[in-house]
Amino acid sequence: MKHFLKETDFTPPEVSEIFALARDLKSKRGRPECGRPLAQQTWAMIFSKSSTRTRVSFEVGIHELGGNPLFLNKNDIQLGRGESVEDTARVLSRFVHGLVVRTYEQAEVERLAAAGTIPVINALTDFLHPCQIYTDAFTMAERWAAPGGDLLASLKGRKIAFLGDTACNMANSWILGANLFGMKISLAGPAAFAPTAEFQSFLAAEGYAGRYEFTTDPYQAVKDADVVYTDVWVSMGKEEEKQERLAIMSPYGVTAELFAAAKPDAYFMHCLPAHPGEEVQQAVLDLPRSIIFDQAENRLHVQKAIMATLALPSRN
């Protein structure tokens, strides 16, 4: 059973195919030749955290692929009252054809995948956000690849600079993704928020030990960068640390001056939601080279390609 729980669940040739399919689905959106690979299927979405982009893009995407999305707030199902993750996976596997899960612990998506008999997609955990990283990479490649050329190949050797909370799910996922895609990654943030020991062990187990640069100097990170990327400083679940985080991360906000220190043709990217005045200035979000809403839109196309790739033949 194939799942998408982390970036490396697909090999580079498979990523290349997913990107090509996403490009095709994007260009033909709404036309019958897109097909209905999820026809007669229901995909459940278990969310334990808030979401705008992920929830809407998956619900719309499942529908556009011919399937039925079933949104389940964790607190509305027995999982929220202590039914085991394993029994939840076994029961849902009898009803639905795929699971999209947003939760806290990476172990929870792994346990759902191990116990069930349907594909599971990680729609964000505290540790990783792989759907976002694939989408971001696709969004860059749309700009860098020759028309009709291989999207993944266009990422090779490019440099991404990630600023702010470099211990969060987005930073972890970008380190793993950059290595998978053949990109270079440099991260700048407070030393107290450097990539964690847990993440470093995970990265080593994935075969990419130490394959990133970490610095406390934001200007060093953005030097020669093709993309300047940031994320919120207070991730979901970290609200109690808000004041401490805003204070310690304040030197790492993306200002127009910092962005100008990257390559002249660099792009600004952010997974959103943004908190202007914290991790990024409004003026940077508004720049012509800010491609944040293309990123948001591409969640739909890339996740449709991922679901179409993972979907099992319909049983009913």
**Which residues carry out catalysis?**
102, 129, 132, 231, 271, 299
Least CB distance from residue 51 to ligand CP, whole Å?
A: 3
The 57-76 contact track toward ligand NVA, x by CB under 6 A, reads --------------------
**How many CA atoms lie less than 13 Å away from 228 in the CB half-sphere?**
34
Determine how β-strand 184-188 pairs with β-strand 98-102: unpaired
232 binds ligand NVA (CB under 6 A): yes
Report the DSSP pairing between strands 159-163 and 120-122.
unpaired
Contact status: 302 vs ligand NVA (CB under 6 A) = no
Considering the complex, what minimum distance in angstroms separates the CB of residue 176 from ligand NVA? Answer: 15
Taking CB within 5 to 8 Å according to partner kind, which of ligand CP, ligand NVA, none is near residue 169?
ligand NVA
Residues 158-187 that bind ligand NVA (CB under 6 A): 168-170
Our CB check for ligand NVA shows the closer of 236 and 285 to be: 236
| 295, burial (CB in 10 Å: exposed 0-12, middle 13-18, buried 19+) | buried
Tell me the C-alpha to C-alpha distance, in Å, between residue 241 and each of 124, 225, 249, 313: 20, 30, 12, 46
**One of 103, 139, 235, 303 touching ligand NVA (CB under 6 A):** 235
Shortest Cβ 296–ligand CP spacing (Å): 7
The interface partner of residue 232, options being ligand CP, ligand NVA, none and the CB cut-off 5 to 8 Å by kind, is ligand NVA
* Residue reference for tokens 């012509």: 288
Kindly state the smallest distance separating residue 271's Cβ from ligand NVA, in Å. 5
CB 33, CB 202: distance < 8 Å:
no
- Return the CA Rg of the chain: 19
Alpha-carbon span 103 to 249, nearest angstrom: 25
Q: Nearest residue by C-beta to ligand NVA?
A: 235
Closer by beta carbon to ligand CP, 48 or else 93: 48
* Backbone φ/ψ region at 139: left (φ over 0), alpha (ψ -120 to 50), beta: alpha
Q: How far apart are CA 104 and CA 87, in angstroms?
A: 19
Contacts with ligand CP by CB under 6 A lie at: 51-54, 124, 132, 271-273
Rounded CA separation 98/92 (Å): 9
Is 271 among the residues that bind ligand NVA (CB under 6 A)? Answer: yes
DSSP state at residue 116: -
Q: Minimal CA–CA distance to 92: which of 65, 107, 66, 111? A: 111
Least CB distance to ligand NVA at residue 103 (A): 11
Q: Which of 7, 226, 231, 279 binds ligand NVA (CB under 6 A)?
A: 231
Where along the sequence are the contacts to ligand NVA (CB under 6 A)? 168-170, 231-232, 235-236, 271
